[in-house]
Structure 1
Amino acid sequence: MHVIVTRPVGDAEPLKSTIEALGWRVTLAPLIDIVSNDIPADALRDATSLIATSRNALTPALGSLIDLPFFAVGPGTGAVARGIGFTKVVEGPGTGAELVPIIASRRAELGERPVYLRGDVVAFDVEGALGEAGIKVKAVNAYRSVAAEALDPPMIKALRNGDIDAVTLMSPRTAKTWARLVGALSPPVQLSGVTHLCLSDRVVEALGQTEKDFKVLVALHPNLEEMIALVKRLAANSKAE
């Protein structure tokens, strides 16, 4: 079995190593490049708590703020926060939409100046949703994401030869990028033999395809742990066949 992992290079290793441990071949093909922004010191100076909906927003530079409450979108981001030194970490199930009510239920921990560390492109408007709940946050762009402009020639060759069994898609933007780049290939490639392992229903929607067009499997919950479980499920199904 040959699986394509499309995560940014810095995020791909846990999924890659898990798939390889199953005896499958893995090719890294990042469709989104993450570029950290230099955050001005005054942007965080008066922060009373931090919110992050991606591990990409976290850097060692936050080490001076580790005593603040930290609201993480999911277990993966929470683990990175603890790795930096944060001890007051509250984790959501994995999406911004699910994190908002958790934050709202613990607003006393936010203090007067909560800071939301975000990227330039977000799947859900956390800032707006918190505003509707009466919580004002200061949004700081901690990173930006740059989409790939083309698939690598070896990837295109593998697609044409039917040498790819599955591809992981962990964000709506990654799914859109994959669909755009594959759709631009001429002559078209056949994807009926490729299982698309999607983090959530929103990722499937962004893909612009349905199970009628090609095979799609969706994680039970939108986090890395459930994506790994999804890969193991596919592995078990493949052995059964």
Structure 2
Amino acid sequence: MNIIVTRPKEDGSPLKEKLETMGHRVILMPLLRIVPRPRAFIRKLPYQAIVITSANGIRALSGHTELKSIRMLTVGPQSMKAAKEAGFLKVEAHGDLVGLATHIRKTLNLTAGP
């Protein structure tokens, strides 16, 4: 099968390789370029958790050492792996977006703030 991967290059390359090992012909054609902001100001608050839905979010937060010990909830195992490699200490994966949303509703106090 011929497949075009449109994810940003840093995210699309591993997917391209995986698809090629499955026997597909893959063209990497990124349609997005992720440009991180300079180190954003993040207010010091008693956060319950950081919720991350992509490796790009993890890369954007990786320079914030003050966040490394806050519980981080990720979508799946790849995001969890990226978070651990970036030095985050309390990382959980919840399978998919529905699983993550369900876990948030069950375990976080939605009226207690961030």
Counterpart for residue 88 of structure 1 = 90
5+ residue gaps, structure 1: 109-132, 138-241
Aligned residues with identical type, % of pairs:
30
Q: Give deviations 1:134-167, integer Å, cap 9, x for gaps.
A: 3543xxxxxxxxxxxxxxxxxxxxxxxxxxxxxx
Counterpart for residue 45 of structure 2 = 46
Is the 8 Å Cα contact of residues 104 and 135 (structure 1) preserved in structure 2? no
3-state SS in 1 of match to 2:14: helix
CA deviation after TM superposition for structure 1 residue 7, in Å: 1.0
Counterpart for residue 103 of structure 2 = 102
Distance 2:46 2:13 in 1: 32
Q: Give deviations 1:66-122, integer Å, cap 9, x for gaps.
A: 211111122221111111112311212221x432221232226xxxxxxxxxxxxxx
Query: Which deviates further from its counterpart, 97-106 or 12-21?
Result: 97-106
Aligned mate of 2:79, from 77, 82, 86: 77
Question: RMSD across aligned C-alpha pairs, in angstroms?
Answer: 2.2
Q: Give deviations 1:147-195, integer Å, cap 9, x for gaps.
A: xxxxxxxxxxxxxxxxxxxxxxxxxxxxxxxxxxxxxxxxxxxxxxxxx
Distance 1:9 1:20 in 2: 16
Distance 1:64 1:85 in 2: 11
Is the 8 Å Cα contact of residues 3 and 27 (structure 1) preserved in structure 2? yes
Distance 1:17 1:79 in 2: 18
Higher percent of residues as strand: 1
Distance 1:47 1:61 in 2: 19
> What does 1:219-230 correspond to in 2, within 5 Å?
none
CA deviation after TM superposition for structure 1 residue 11, in Å: 0.6
Q: Do the aligned partners of residues 53 and 11 (structure 1) sit closer, same or farther apart at CA in structure 2, a change above 3 Å counting?
A: same
CA deviation after TM superposition for structure 1 residue 61, in Å: 0.8
Is the 8 Å Cα contact of residues 75 and 94 (structure 1) preserved in structure 2? no
Distance 2:51 2:17 in 1: 29
Is the 8 Å Cα contact of residues 63 and 84 (structure 1) preserved in structure 2? no
Is it true that 1:134 corresponds to 2:111 in the alignment?
A: yes
3-state SS in 1 of match to 2:35: strand
Distance 2:46 2:74 in 1: 16
Is it true that 1:66 corresponds to 2:68 in the alignment?
A: yes
Distance 2:23 2:102 in 1: 40
Equivalenced residue count is 111
CA deviation after TM superposition for structure 1 residue 26, in Å: 1.6
* Structure exhibiting the larger radius of gyration computed from Cα positions: 1
5+ residue gaps, structure 2: none
